[in-house]
Amino acid sequence: MNGPTPEELDAALAAFESRRDQVDWFRKQVADFFTTSRVLTTGPLPAVHSVKSRVKDASHLKEKIARKWSAGPITAENFFERINDAAGVRVLHLHSRQLEKIHRATMSQVEQGYWFLSEPPVAYSWDPEATAFFQSLGLRAETRETYYTSIHYIVKPQERVDITCEIQVRTLFEEVWGEIDHALNYPQPTTSLPCKEQLRVLAKLASTGTRLADAIFAIRDSESAEVK
């Protein structure tokens, strides 16, 4: 299938722009939960380190529409069904075990009816040990050949509403790798073999950093328990 015409791109984008305020309101509501929840933000080491959020701008949305067009036209009628990450919230934490608290808090929002899952959450990883941990939390795990690691939730404010927000949860080490990979591979993947290989090395270093952080905090918790 050929790509969209300029007129088709403009029509799909106009559908989004007509509801941008609604999308942005929900994005702020989701981000505010992670920055104000006492469960996630209090204590000597809060589960949430920091939160980033955004609504895609017009140029990025046009690129996304063009990339996804091969799977079927994206129109004013199906824009919000086909594009579910126009709004995004990224939740960062220091070590892996904090994910359990973040995951429980996120699912509690769903169980209480504040948010609705547009699709089951998924954990992307290339590391078998990380994958096993994600699965122990009840998350569906998928492997990415790009070495991408992150947990994704697609939520919406009401069950019958088509507006969505993508929540990404990852460690700070994974965020560093993700930002560098994004700079090189988005919107078009790099064709440089050395860059690809170095990104794989960086992914392994990020994974090692996360594991080392996990070990440090596990030792601290063990020593604290012995003192008590």
Domain membership flag for residue 141: yes
Res. 228: pLDDT tops 80: no
Average pLDDT over residues 163-168: 98
pLDDT of residue 97: 92
- CA distance from start to end of the chain: 66
Average pLDDT over residues 130-148: 89
List Cβ<8 Å contacts ≥24 apart for 202-206: 202/177, 203/126, 203/147, 203/149, 203/177, 204/147, 206/149, 206/173, 206/174, 206/176, 206/177
Q: Where are the alpha helices (DSSP H) in 69-192?
A: 79-82, 98-111, 128-136, 172-185
Domain membership flag for residue 33: yes
Q: Identify the domain containing residue 55 by its residue range.
A: 6-172
- pLDDT tier for residue 219 given thresholds of 50, 70 and 90: very high
Domain membership flag for residue 202: no
Percent of the chain with pLDDT over 70: 98
pLDDT of residue 12: 94
pLDDT of residue 1: 60
Structure-block tokens of residue 35? 């920055």
Domain membership flag for residue 154: yes
Domain membership flag for residue 224: no
3-state secondary structure 118-145: EEEEEEEECCHHHHHHHHHCCCEEEECC
CATH number at residue 147: 3.30.460.10
Strand 140-143 versus strand 116-125 pairing type: parallel
Domain membership flag for residue 197: no
pLDDT of residue 46: 96
When mean pLDDT is compared over 139-143, 165-169, 188-192, the highest value belongs to: 165-169
For all residues of the chain together, what is the average pLDDT?
93
Domain membership flag for residue 227: no
Res. 227: pLDDT tops 70: no
Percent of the chain with pLDDT over 90: 82
Q: Count of domains in the chain?
A: 1
When mean pLDDT is compared over 161-165, 180-184, 218-222, the highest value belongs to: 161-165
Domain membership flag for residue 225: no
pLDDT of residue 221: 83
pLDDT of residue 222: 83
φ/ψ bin of 60: left (φ > 0), alpha (ψ from -120 to 50), beta (otherwise): alpha
pLDDT of residue 185: 87
pLDDT of residue 202: 94
pLDDT digits (tens, 9 = 90+) for 40-69: 999 889 999 999 999 999 999 999 999 999
- Supply the DSSP string of 199-227, one letter for each residue: HHHHHHHHHHHHHHHHHHHHHHHHHHHHH
